[in-house]
Amino acid sequence: MVEEIGKTAEGDLIINVGPQHPATHGVLHLIITLNGETIKKVEPHLGYIHRSIEKMCESLTYRQFIYTTSRMDYLSAHINNHACALTVEKGLGIEIPARAQVIRVLMDELTRIASHELWWGAMAMDLGAFTPFFHAFRERETINDIMEETCGARLTMNYMVPGGVMMDLHPNFQNRVKNFLTLYKRKIHEYDELVTGNIIFQNRMKGVGVLSKEAAISFGVTGPAARGSGVSCDVRKLYPYEIYNTLEFDEILETEGDSFARYMVRLREMNESIKIIEQLIDNIPEGDFQAKTKAVLKLPKGEFYQRVETARGELGVYIVSEGGTTPYRIKFRSPGFSNLSCLDHITRGGKIGDLIASMGTLDLVIPDIDR
């Protein structure tokens, strides 16, 4: 453990936040240098949940390694699996059936809503409001039920496999999703009434943790955090995969770059996901849910890269293959790691209370950072 409690030569106080701290959403360790209440430096310490997933993947086959990625960014488990499946398909040159593509996009967007809902509840809890947590989990449970019925798991699904999806949709799927849409539309105004319009909340969020457009680009920040600063970086729009180029949805952009802008991006993004689901739910094509693939997958010698948009930003999967059944090297470009790198920049000079608001709106998932 790092023993860095004390004072610097200039008389500044050094305190540790984490690794066991409720506001870090896991086991992130921050070493903060304080002058009074003003933050002079924030130094994140990583590795408290480093599970060596990249190294593990080198000894797992192309079908097996996907399960480890559900545990990486567990709130976007589907989208992580999707990225890996896409990379392997790219290497093999497989065409995926239309039904599988639609199922994948539906699942991705449901995951995105579930992830943003959890973020919303947890962030409000960080700022001292406990009720939003229960409201968010009420809707999240309905999505979990949908996932459970079709994929057999609530959180770590491993549903997307090279060639399509593991099994067909449950007969109840469409009904359940439609019920969820009605429930969601009936309840979404509560989110605004409870939190967004709250004057205390706005005072704590507006002008706090400002990330300029230039800084966002230079730190490699992606996802809603970057779109809050006006950086157009939605992979679904810029480098469309699956059927995203045929769908109608907007890329949400805000220009202020503060915590409130990042908050609004996520809230509005949930509505965009709803739009996508509405377009697809009645138009799921008939056909196979999986392409015919060989029992043992062998990627040709070479390097393959695919990026997708997870709930937190751009996830890149980079596979180096030597032609065998297991990858030679796998690298995940995880969105959380890059988003964390700007934490020092946006909190420096601010008050220690604002650190929580800034960190909450970056929506960090620690196992995604450490892998």
Partner 1 sequence: MISTENTTTNEFPGHIEEVPGGGIVLSKLDELVNWARSNSLWPLTFATSCCGIEYMQVAGPKYDFSRFGFEVARATPRQADVIIIAGTIVNKMAPVLKRLYDQMADPKYVIAMGACAISGGPFFYNTYSVVKGADHVIPVDVYSPGCPPRPEALIHALITLQDKIKMGMTREQMKSGL
CB of 158 to partner 1, least distance (A): 10
Q: Which of 35, 144, 196, 293 binds partner 1 (CB under 8 A)?
A: 144
Q: At 32, which amino acid appears? A: I
By the rule CB under 8 A, 178 interacts with partner 1: no
The token duo for 226 is: 């970057």
Please provide residue 236's backbone torsions phi and psi, each rounded to the nearest 5 degrees.
-65, -30
By the rule CB under 8 A, 82 interacts with partner 1: no
Q: Could you tell me what percentage of the chain is helix, strand and coil, using 3-state DSSP and rounding each to the nearest 5?
A: 50, 15, 35
Using CB under 8 A as the binding criterion, the count of chain residues that bind partner 1 stands at 38
By the rule CB under 8 A, 328 interacts with partner 1: no
Identity of the residue, 57 or 211, whose beta carbon is nearer to partner 1 in the bound complex: 57
Looking up tokens 């008050």 gives 351
Q: 50-79 burial string, b = 16+ CB within 10 Å, else e?
A: eeebbeebeebebbebbebbbbbbbbbbbb
- Report the site for partner 1 in 43-72 (rule: CB under 8 A): 47-52, 55-56, 58-60, 67-68, 70-71
Site string for partner 1, 106-125 (x = CB under 8 A): ------------x---x---
230 neighbors 83 (Cβ within 8 angstroms) = no
By the rule CB under 8 A, 188 interacts with partner 1: no
Identity of the residue, 59 or 172, whose beta carbon is nearer to partner 1 in the bound complex: 59
152/119 Cα distance (integer angstroms) = 24
By the rule CB under 8 A, 20 interacts with partner 1: yes
97/220 Cα distance (integer angstroms) = 34
Q: What is the 3-state secondary structure (H, E, C) of 30-75?
A: EEEEEECCEEEEEEEECCCCCCCHHHHHCCCCCCCCHHHHHCCCHH
By the rule CB under 8 A, 167 interacts with partner 1: no
CB of 21 to partner 1, least distance (A): 7
What residues make contact with partner 1 under the rule CB under 8 A? 1, 19-22, 26-27, 47-52, 55-56, 58-60, 67-68, 70-71, 74-75, 118, 122, 133-134, 137-138, 140-141, 144, 154-156, 366-367
